[in-house]
Amino acid sequence: LEAIDMITPFRSALYMTQAAVVETPDLIVIVDPCWLPDEVASIHQYVAALAADKPRYLLFTHSDFDHIIGYGAFAHESVNASVQACSAVQVISSQRMADKSASEQEAILEQIREFDDRYYIERDYPIMYPSVTIPVAQNGQQLAVGGTTLTFYLAPGHTDDGLMTIVEHICDSSNESIGVLIAGDYLSDVEFPYIYHSSEAYLNTLVQATRILEQHTITMLLPGHGNITCDHVEMRSRISNSEQYIHALRAEAAQNMNTANNEQWEEFLVNSRFPRHMRHYHEENQSLVAREQHPSRS
Ligand SMILES: [Zn+2]
């Protein structure tokens, strides 16, 4: 078994969003099933055809609406847990995501309804906020089944409720370890950091990602948007690119520069993958970091 055999990626046509099903001899992990009805249905069909005797986990990397939009298609399986014990699905997220207040949850669900209305999308499952059965509260918390271990790290910064998960499997025959790092909306090769929560927390999460690469056997990185990579040089450069971007944002805000026509940023944005759209996220980042550093002015 190699990392590439362990994972079946389902890339959405939208925003290169990267759902996936990770299967080891011991368990199945369904990651952020999304976006469009046909895409969610194909993930659901794929999972339904897998061995029924393995424990199943539905993993949410964070609560952004695009990542939880498919939950309702899998929710009935957790409700029917007592009837069909073997196909019961446990739902994993950070404690913070599980603890979102009713109004926070409602705001996220409203974004889904808004999206579906805008594109006249009908779904054959209800729009629901994930009902979490395994909330992760501790860094390094683990869940072990047979030769497979899931290790969780809280990953705030993009949002306040991010979770990085490592699925490691030790092969019986070779005794070799393989591991997939499920990063959520970090370490993308397509998006620069989108900072909705805190630039400081984001930087700390990147430091933690470096530590994860050192302390775990990571043979594959699965980002929430963009391309999977098995190359450690690439993984490290994604971390340092993100760090450089955030340091530049923070330096700019600290120096209080007027950046409306900053040439360096212009070049950066023009060379980004989807400049017309990504410009907006960059500008939002600039205002968030400015607010962080000059709270009295907001
Ligand atoms: Zn996302």
Q: What is the mean pLDDT of residues 57-68?
A: 98
**pTM, full prediction:** 0.93
Measured at the alpha carbon of residue 206, what is the angle toward residues 259 and 98, in degrees to the nearest 5?
Answer: 105
Residues near ion ligand 1 (CB < 5 Å) are: 64, 66, 185, 224
How many angstroms is it from 66 CA to the middle of ligand 1?
A: 6
How many angstroms is it from 65 CA to the middle of ligand 1?
A: 8
User: Which residues make Cβ contacts (< 8 Å) with residue 119, sequence separation at least 6?
Assistant: none
What's the whole-number average pLDDT of the chain? 92
35 upstream amide cis, omega within 30 of 0? yes
Q: What 3-state DSSP class applies to 22?
A: strand
User: What is the structure's pLDDT at 298?
Assistant: 53
Interval 154-208: pLDDT, tens: 999 999 999 999 999 998 778 888 999 999 999 999 999 999 999 999 999 999 9
How many angstroms is it from 286 CA to the middle of ligand 1?
A: 19
Contact between residue 32 and residue 248 where contact means Cβ atoms under 8 Å apart: no
Interval 133-166: pLDDT, tens: 999 999 999 999 999 999 999 999 999 999 999 9
How many angstroms is it from 195 CA to the middle of ligand 1?
A: 11
User: What is the structure's pLDDT at 80?
Assistant: 47
